[in-house]
Amino acid sequence: MKNHPLYLFALDPTHIGAGGYRLGRVDNTILRDAATGLPKIPGSSINGAARSAAIYSLPDSEREPAMQYANHTLRKKGYEQRPHAGADDAVARVFGYAEGDEEGQSRIGLVSFRDAEILAFPVPTMAGPRWITTPALLDAAGCAKIPTLNDPTKIVIQSVGTPPPRLNLGWILLDATPNTIPFPAFLNDQPGMAHIRANLALVHDSLFPSLVNANLETRTSVSIDFETGAGADGLLFTYEAAPRGTLYRGQVDFDDQRFAPLYAGSLALVQKGLALACQLGLGAMTTRGFGRMQPMLAGA
């Protein structure tokens, strides 16, 4: 199995909906991890967007047959004869296929996407934005020499310039200690990541969920009455969004044991699909300026 860490840097606010409305602070909440209560981007959302976009990254000679096959698979009925088998489709070979009829075939994909969890989250401070993270998150990302932090009332800030003795993270003021905070080595050469590394703040694991959920965006929208062009009465609603600047860490796995001949070509296809999908936007409300990402796939 080939494992490739995937980092997603939010260029716009992101709304991955939880699938319904609720009574509470906001009507339309974003998806959260059941154990930590933190927002995340599910692997199924990345997979679906990358697969759809991968079709449009194919050469002209392969794109039209792939679109016909995808259309046929979705409709299941409507064609007397399938355009071709999934094994002959450039996208279906990589992402898997289930043809949905008695004579059709199915096969698991050779690529799988893990959930992308927050690695660094932007929080406003009196000294400008800081990206908060935790020792556990940095350790999971493969970082070494992480400063010890046992007191939830203290934070460690990146030792660049002359750091203040105390620093607010949104609504809370904490004692700050300067130290060197590590960062995933792969990100050191990626665009925009030097600024995040220079403004890292290490917080206690128990404090991190509260800080993240307290600094999410809450927006208000209203449905439009198409006859008048104005806001419709009684259709005001609020929704959450993770702010731009959030850095997520996920993983893309390739089964190079069972599908060894397909691995090299599949990596290039997934990378192109991710680039286009992230440019168009992940999640909901992409036509409102949400969801654009900067994908960074290690080892690609």
Q: At CA 293, angle to CA 287 and CA 294, rounded to 5?
A: 145
Rg of the Cα atoms in the chain: 22
**Alpha carbons 117 and 248: distance in angstroms, whole number:** 5
Q: At CA 84, angle to CA 79 and CA 87, rounded to 5?
A: 135
Residue 224: the pLDDT is 85
The tokens describing 228, both together, are 């008048």
Crossing angle between the packed helical segments 60-75 and 43-56, to the nearest 10 degrees: 130
The tokens describing 183, both together, are 């960062």
- pLDDT tens by residue, 137-190: 999 999 999 999 999 999 999 887 777 889 999 989 999 999 999 999 999 999
Residue 195: the pLDDT is 94
Write the single-letter amino acid at 136.
A
φ, ψ for residue 92, nearest 5 deg: -65, -35
Residue 59: the pLDDT is 83
User: Is residue 43 classed as helix, strand or coil in its secondary structure?
Assistant: helix
User: Is residue 97 classed as helix, strand or coil in its secondary structure?
Assistant: strand
Quick one: how many helices (H) and strands (E) in the chain? 7, 17
Cβ contact 31:40 at 8 Å: yes
For the chain, list residues with pLDDT below 70. 19-24, 73-88, 99-104
Residue 10: the pLDDT is 97
Residue 69: the pLDDT is 73
Contacts of 74 by beta carbon, 8 Å cutoff, 6+ apart: none
Residue 78: the pLDDT is 47
Cβ contact 16:30 at 8 Å: yes
Residue 108: the pLDDT is 81
- Alpha carbon of residue 297 to chain centroid: 12
The model's pTM is: 0.89
Residue 133: the pLDDT is 97
